[in-house]
Chain A
Amino acid sequence: MIEQEELMKSKKSLLKKYEIPIDHISFEYVEKCNDRKELEKIVKILRSGEEGHFPLLTQCAETRLRQVAPESHVLRTEEPTLTKSTLEPDHWDRVSNEIEEWTGEMRTREEELKKSSSIYKSSDDLPAVRNVKMSKMLGSHNDKQEAGPSRMKSAVPRNYADWDKFDVDKELLKMELEDERRKEQAMKKKRQQEKEKKKNKRDEDDTFSNIADNLSATEKEFMAAQEKDRGNEYYRSGDYDLAVKHYTCSILLCPTPAAYNNRAIAYLKLHKFGAALTDCNQVLEADPLNVKALLRRGTAHQNSNNYEQAFEDFCKVVGLEPDNKLAKSLSEQMKKKCGSNLKSVRMTIEDEPTGFVFPAPRHNVAVNEWGLAKTMCRCNGIPAWSCRTAPKCRICKRKRADRRTEKEEERQKIKQATEDTSEMGEERGSIVVKVTPAADDGRDEQSNENISSDQMQIDEKGSGDILATEKSMENVVQENSELPLHKDLISSELDSRKGSRELREQRVELENMLEIKKLKDAEGKAFMSRDNNVAMEKREGGNFESDKKEVKQTTSEVKLKLPLSSDISTAMETDKRGDTRVNKKNIGNASLEANKLKNEKLSVGNSNSSNETVQTEGNEEKNTPSEASGLKDTKQKISPGIGNTEPQQTKVKVANKYKVNERTSREVPIECSTKQSAHEEGQSVNIITSPYEFMKVWQALKGSTDVSGHAQVMRAVQPVDLQTVVGNKLDGPMLSTILHCLEKHFAPELALEYLEKLVLLPRFNIAGSFLESSEKQAVHLLLKELQNLGHHPSVTVWEAFPC
């Protein structure tokens, strides 16, 4: 008896052990209790039955616990396994059928394996037998542990005498040093770890050899399945690189649609849309109605901005699975994106040199293989910018090119642009950056330099997002108003700005057009349509008039130098707009292009843009020849930053560029009134590649005293094309005009390029004999100047223009 009592005492009841008041074990308390631990304890107490059996209360406590903490281990219950008797008959049948099928399959597989094992011999190229002389002993783990840093002597003094010696500053310094040392070590360690990781990766790469060759088909299948499972595992844990590696192994062993399909999704996750596309195509070749592959290919298309193809794929999925919500929503998205395109002209996309070329990945920004910043991607890997603007998706590639031309256009009327932007700045307040000060300063070289360095900064920073540009732009100008944090906000702002800017551009274009009109009747129609456009815009915009005035003001002002800085900033301005430019113009222009650009392999959208490019470029270059090329570069540098690309051009070092710019702009006196530039623009032509075009334009300029128009034409002819374009049409007057052009309107370097090609023309010698000696003399001087500048004209050129 006593023993039992003692036992009872020593063995406390759970209630006491958990220290839970007895009144907590009640419906009222339990129903309101949110404390997981307490609830668990209550449940345990109730289950133990030490306080009596309360089935309802126990149940209540359990349900409450399930609500509070569904994962609680107290709630874990065992269930007996299901057997034939406890399982529903049809379920059981399903399971057993499946297994019987499997056993049959296994038997055939075993047969195959047995047959093949007589043919294939197990591979000999296994690693050699491990050769360890002395195996390590277990107990030696003590010496494994590092001795560790020797114990620092305690810094705290033990007695008063020590306190006297205690130097606080010294100790502090010591501590600081210690801290620094630790940090340094940490950094070092990190670097080392990274290095090791890289090395390990390399090691992994060389594993898969051709052992696979001496395996039987069954083995290959088995291993392929295994590798695929490994890939799935890595995919699930988010190691997409490794997943791809294993899927690739699986495919190498035994290509299956499933493995390709899985690799496609892994590639998608890695933003390798091209690779994903090919994998999906592989699957669809074998199984054209594979829903997953279709979906994945659609996504790949979508992310490579081929919205129409994406739309097609998604539509197919919807056709196959009408209930597939994902496909439905995606196809609707795609429909929206390419809605305008589907309705209007269907454009073919060809990758031409001036087209959309993917920029090289930048180091400081994570980009996907399309050069779009990864950070832009939101859900579904859809770049943010593509979400923003609704229609006209297909054109957006082109739009980049468009934008480029706009920049160019801008440049020729910087003043105007400057005023504009500043005006807009005032108007819109929040994010608009004032360009005016920079533009003014732009007249002195120093700020030019400044800007150029800033420009470089942008270049380096260059990320796909507008924000960065915006930011650096603000650096340039040093006068920033508040910077909105949200990208979309900016873009919407920019979009709103777009309107007035567009108007201005169109206005200028209109002027150009009016000029051209006189010259070319055939194009009249196009201009009319454009005219209408502008008129429409006028009605809509309303501030057209003020714009015009502004330009008039400025025309007289713009004279000698083009303030480069403002140029850049306006160029950036244009970029920032990230706009979707007017379709209307494209369409309006279509007829014009049809005439003009027969032999250009450009799509409609782009032909328009390139057209403009040449026009404007030509203008610019005429004004300040070398500057133009410099600016071209600048432009080029900005644009990749915007996620855009440019035709590949040789880059000129920035510093040089500006020097040249200064010089030439001083040397070459030109009037740059807007009007004239507009006039010139009108005369200018696209890149000329055929003799017919060249002669047509050249003849049209007959009688004009100014050679600027000719220079314009020359610009449209690439030096390399001279041979084909001019050919044996060269005659005395033409040659003399060309030489005039080269001398007056071209940068020496560029002129040299033309000269080199010119002297090689078949009729050059004959035409040359018509030249006046003064002309030859002038060219000779030019050549000498070139030589002084460090260029080396070839012997033929020297011979052609003797002293």
Chain B
Amino acid sequence: MEKPQVITYAEKSTSLSLFDCRWIPCSAKFVVLGSKPRGTGVINVYEINEGDIQLVKEVEKTKAFKCGTYGASSLQDRYLATGDFEGKLNIWNLEDTTAPIYSAAAHKEIINSIDGIGGQNIGCGAPEIVTGSRDGSVKVWDPRQKGKPVATMEPAEGDARRDCWAVAFGNSYNSEERIVCSGYDNGDIKMFDLKTMSLRWETNVKNGVCGIEFDRRDISMNKMVATTLESKFYVFDVRTQHPKKGFAYLTEKVIVEFVTLQAHKSTIWVVRHLPQNREIFATCGGAGTLCLWKYNYPARRVMCDTDGNEMGVMGTTSLLQNATLSTQPISNLDWSPDKQGMAVCTSFDQTIRIIIVTKLNTL
């Protein structure tokens, strides 16, 4: 097996604080969400052109944008859903950005995370958007229903509200099944079943959960990765749920060893699965490193305990590549759905990078 190479294809420094980046499906363009130094929000559309990143369009709004997704819109529409610092959920048509085509005052505080589903797949249910906010609530939105969420998951009155840092859709393999998973600053991970509207499973991973992603949203749930502060991430086998033990998982620590030993531990900000191969995922964070992992299934994924309950068996992860992209943490990364191995990432050094990972198809 040849090691994949990580190549920085293009770089562009900006004057923005960059929070999120997303490829526009079916194009060589991507959007970057962030804020200007004076606090206004920016949606920038860039295009790759002859080895360079060119700004195609700039949209400035009053509030800074934190996150965005194309997941809930079809390829024909390609509307961008964004969450901002004020707790507003907006859906934009980037052709005409004078006003959002959908807007809702979703949360009282900043929307930390957003995920969408149902736009680009057949037979996996309605288009929906989930938002997670500092106010502790997780809300599910349907763009066809104005003004109010279709489902809300929040702590009961009087309970402590934890900051929700990450949300993700999953298990949406038919029109009914759907699961939302959310991660909180205290290390809680909660899994909500939207079909039965119940809490399906929860666990605590001790450190704040910065990123959560299912390997695929539109298949019956298979694997989920949660990244945390303190350089650890967890891979859960979510195919088999044991009634008592829940899901099997393994944890992997990304140790960043500097010669000076100063930044021994760092946050893993984001995890993203390769759209062309769900067994490969990238974790980014800490000291500007990008780790490329491959999950290897065990010989048997399920075993029975003495009570006849099935429980999952974890495989192993192997590190394919560990590359340093920048001296500052990588805040976000997005794989291109159209080109295998191509990704855009934003980092705290205000730079946008296009990276290419080669030899992925030989894995």
Contact = CB atoms under 8 A, between A and B. Distances in A.
Given A82-B5, A193-B310, A127 B323 contact: no
B144 to A, nearest CB: 5
A189 B308 contact: yes
Contacts of A95: 7, 9, 356, 358
Nearest to B137: A138
A222 B175 contact: no
B142 A129 contact: yes
B123 A208 contact: yes
Given A130-B194, A193-B310, A207-B123, A141 B322 contact: no
Interface in B46-86: 47-51, 74-77
Interface string B323-345: 11100000000000111001000
A99 B342 contact: yes
A249 to B, nearest CB: 8
Given A78-B256, A99-B9, A233-B278, A226 B121 contact: yes
B126 A127 contact: yes
Nearest to B218: A230
B76 A120 contact: yes
B165 to A, nearest CB: 15
Given A189-B308, A200-B220, A230-B219, A136 B197 contact: yes
Interface in A597-618: none
Contacts of B186: none
Contact of B25 (A77, A200, A203, A222): A222
B194 to A, nearest CB: 7
Contacts of B356: 95, 99
A777 interface: no
Interface string A51-88: 00000000000000000000101001111111100010
Interface string A189-224: 110010000001001101111011000101100110
Nearest to B274: A229
A233 B279 contact: yes
A79 B292 CA distance: 12
> Interface range on chain A: under 10, 10 to 19, 20 to 34, or 35 or more?
35 or more
Nearest to A75: B319
Interface string B282-300: 0000000110000001000
Interface stretch (A102-110, A150-158, A547-555, A671-679): A102-110
B6 to A, nearest CB: 5
A190 to B, nearest CB: 5
Contacts of A102: 28, 338-339, 342
Nearest to A232: B277
Given A126-B126, A238-B297, A138 B154 contact: yes
Contacts of B140: 130
Contacts of A147: none
Contact of A144 (B75, B159, B199, B324): B199
A182 interface: yes
Contact of B7 (A82, A206, A219): A82
A130 to B, nearest CB: 4
B150 interface: yes
A135 interface: yes
B153 interface: yes
Contacts of B144: 129
Given A116-B76, A207-B173, A132 B150 contact: yes
Nearest to A110: B27
A190 B304 contact: yes
Contacts of A126: 118, 126-127
A543 interface: no
B318 A80 contact: no
24 contacts: A77-B322, A81-B355, A82-B5, A82-B8, A83-B8, A99-B48, A100-B50, A102-B28, A103-B49, A113-B26, A116-B76, A120-B76, A130-B142, A135-B153, A136-B153, A185-B308, A186-B309, A206-B174, A207-B123, A207-B124, A223-B122, A226-B337, A230-B219, A233-B279
Given A207-B123, A249-B122, 20 more contacts: A73-B253, A79-B324, A80-B323, A81-B8, A82-B8, A95-B9, A95-B356, A100-B51, A110-B26, A113-B26, A113-B75, A130-B140, A130-B194, A188-B308, A200-B220, A207-B124, A208-B122, A209-B122, A212-B122, A226-B121
Interface of B: 5-9, 25-28, 47-51, 74-77, 118, 120-128, 136, 140, 142, 144-145, 149-157, 159, 173-176, 190, 192, 194, 197-199, 202, 216, 219-220, 253, 255-257, 261, 275-279, 289-290, 297, 304, 306-310, 318-319, 321-325, 337-339, 342, 355-356, 358
Ranked nearest first, the 9 interchain pairs of A and B with the lowest CB-CB distance are: A186-B308, A139-B156, A130-B150, A117-B76, A135-B152, A207-B123, A103-B28, A137-B156, A139-B159
